[in-house]
Amino acid sequence: DSGVTQTPKHLITATGQRVTLRCSPRSGDLSVYWYQQSLDQGLQFLIQYYNGEERAKGNILERFSAQQFPDLHSELNLSSLELGDSALYFCASSVWGNRGETQYFGPGTRLLVL
């Protein structure tokens, strides 16, 4: 158990709908990363937040948005869903130590768009 929690574990929805994925980082971790794992694109970085502020953006669609709240949990919002958005969405939180930063992944949310 990495200490990173994600809810829900599974989500089935229809095209055109909107969903929210939630992530709680490990206690004390300020950074949250979102990744998407799909069959055709592999594992891709979407976005990073650090202590409530957006830090870096990857290949995140305009239909997707995220935020990090004062209690450091993060939400990834996916709207106008398409079949191709079906994927496993991971959240990771990171800790800095004497060997640099290490990202620990949550169990993921499996999204199926029908």
- Residue 103 near other proteins by CB under 8 A: yes
When asked if residue 49 is in the footprint of other proteins (CB under 8 A), the reply is no
Report 53-92 residues binding other proteins (CB under 8 A).
55-56, 58, 88, 90, 92
10 near other proteins (CB under 8 A): no
- Which of 40/71 has CB closer to other proteins? 40
Q: Which is nearer to other proteins, 68 or 94 (CB)?
A: 94
Question: Which is it for the CA torsion 30, 56, 108, 113, positive or negative?
Answer: positive
List for the chain the helix, strand, coil content (%; round to 5).
5, 60, 40
- Given a contact cutoff of 8 angstroms between Cβ atoms, the answer to whether 4 and 24 are in contact is yes
Q: What contacts 7, CB < 8 A, 6 or more positions away? A: 21, 22, 109
Q: Nearest-CA neighbor of 81 among 29, 17, 11, 27?
A: 17
Q: Which of 32, 33, 64, 74 binds other proteins (CB under 8 A)?
A: 33
The stretch near other proteins (CB under 8 A) out of 15-23, 60-68, 75-83, 102-110 is: 102-110
Half-sphere exposure of residue 15, counting CA atoms within 13 Å on the CB side?
4
Q: Which residues bind other proteins (CB under 8 A)?
A: 2, 31, 33, 35, 42-45, 48, 55-56, 58, 88, 90, 92, 94, 99-105, 107-108, 110
